[in-house]
């Protein structure tokens, strides 16, 4: 176990459960953020997704403002803004505004993927592929818009200049590792679904890291699926909703987040399917004791500086309870690492 403190945070997709309205969904996201603040989480990030009936985090910057307004201390940000979908100038203006409204609480996580299917990506931006290739340059543009030096430029994001909004690079491949290292920025790896390159990417990032004005040493954040309940059996039941969600991704038949059922042999066989098993490799499901052992092993393996928990459970109260237990696990592991 590392002898340093491991930060813990939340990635929120604003999942739409069967029978719930969008308003209920957004209210539940805020309720969760408020509880996360109580439990000691460092940040609450919202993802950007489009054309998915079960994911409501589409207008990401709007939701960030809603959550930040309803909380007091927790950092709120994007996990992430899919930059090829947007103009760097507009992103700087949006997050500069957020950073002024909620000082020292807004994070800007940036990703290269579309956060949707190919057809929708084209509908968002017809030159998406070209924009994806300009990802490194677009990051530089955003950094420039946030700098005080940009006051002398002909093109300005005046609401962003001098505003403190840290930038994070999100990724699921070695390309993002090289980019994060070169720019000296924190690196958030999407290991909650993209598991194959986690070790290779984080090794590259740490070895190639170049200190910057904003970050002196490499900082690795890793996504993990977390479902915790009072018993292993109860947690496994909650996980059936997650399994059905991933099954919908593979089959192209997306549906609202479904209520949990008993963990059947059929569900276990789906979990063992090579493709599903690979995607959900870093999914820790069970009682507090069960998940604590799994998380401890993951931290020993990855040496991650921060874990970003993704808890896809149908019922908001069960989600909140899972996050409460995860916070207890992380606090205990951090105490043990100091001993």
Q: How many residues can be counted in the chain? A: 339
The pLDDT of residue 262 is: 94
The C-alpha atoms of residue 187 and residue 94 are separated, in whole angstroms, by 22
Neighbours of 187 (CB within 10 A): 27
The 8-class DSSP code of residue 258 comes to P
Q: Tell which residue, 300, 329, 326, 234, has the closest CA to residue 4.
A: 300
Boundaries of every domain in the chain: 7-338
Q: Which of 294, 221, 173, 156 is nearest to 9 (CA)?
A: 221
Nearest to 246 by CA among 217, 282, 270, 226: 270
Residue 276 is predicted with a pLDDT of 86
pTM of the model: 0.95
For residue 274, how many other CB atoms are within 10 A of its CB?
A: 7
Q: What pLDDT is stored for residue 1 in this prediction?
A: 39
- CATH 3.40.50.720 at 7-338, yes or no: no
Give the pLDDT confidence score for residue 204 in this predicted structure: 98
Task: Report pLDDT for 16.
Answer: 97
Task: Tally DSSP H helices, then E strands, for the chain.
Answer: 13, 9
Q: Where are the beta strands (DSSP E) in the chain?
A: 7-12, 43-46, 75-82, 106-111, 167-171, 187-189, 220-228, 283-286, 306-310
Sign of CA dihedral 147, 151, 152, 153: positive
pLDDT tens per residue, range 117-143: 889 888 988 887 888 889 999 999 999
Query: Averaged in consecutive runs of 10 residues, what is the pLDDT profile of the chain (339 residues)?
Result: 79 97 98 98 97 95 98 98 96 98 98 89 85 92 98 97 98 95 98 94 98 97 98 97 88 90 91 88 97 97 98 97 98 93
Handedness of CA 300, 303, 305, 307 (dihedral sign): negative
């Amino acid at each position: 176990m590392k002898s340093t403190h491991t930060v813990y945070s939340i990635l929120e997709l604003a999942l739409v459960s069967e029978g719930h309205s969008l308003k209920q969904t957004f209210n539940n996201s805020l309720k969760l953020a408020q509880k996360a603040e109580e439990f000691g989480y460092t940040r609450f990030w919202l993802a950007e997704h489009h054309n998915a009936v079960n994911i409501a985090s589409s207008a990401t910057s709007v939701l960030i403002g809603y959550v930040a307004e309803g909380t007091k201390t927790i950092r709120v940000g994007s996990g992430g803004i899919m930059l090829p979908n947007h103009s760097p100038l507009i992103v700087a203006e949006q997050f500069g505004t957020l950073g002024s409204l909620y000082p020292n609480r807004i994070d800007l996580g940036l990703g290269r993927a579309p956060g949707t299917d190919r057809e929708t990506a084209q509908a968002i931006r017809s030159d998406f592929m070209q924009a994806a290739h300009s990802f490194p340059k677009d990051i530089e543009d955003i950094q420039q818009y946030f700098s005080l030096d940009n006051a002398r430029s002909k093109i300005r994001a005046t609401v962003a200049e001098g505003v403190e909004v840290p930038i994070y690079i999100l990724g699921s491949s070695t390309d993002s590792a090289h980019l994060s290292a070169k720019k000296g920025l924190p690196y958030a790896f999407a290991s909650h679904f993209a598991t194959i390159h986690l070790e290779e990417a984080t090794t590259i990032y740490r070895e190639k890291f170049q200190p910057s004005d904003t970050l002196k040493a490499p900082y690795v954040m890793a996504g993990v699926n977390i479902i915790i309940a009072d018993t292993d059996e109860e947690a496994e039941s909650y996980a059936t909703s997650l399994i059905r969600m991933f099954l919908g991704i593979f089959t192209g038949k997306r549906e609202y987040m479904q209520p949990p059922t008993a963990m059947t042999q059929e569900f276990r066989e789906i979990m063992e399917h090579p493709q599903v098993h690979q995607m959900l490799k870093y999914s820790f499901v069970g009682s507090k004791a069960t998940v604590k052992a799994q998380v401890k092993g993951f931290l020993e393996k990855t040496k991650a500086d921060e874990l970003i928990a993704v808890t896809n459970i149908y019922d908001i109260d069960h989600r909140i309870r899972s996050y409460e237990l995860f916070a207890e696990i992380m606090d205990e592991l951090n105490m043990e690492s100091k001993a």
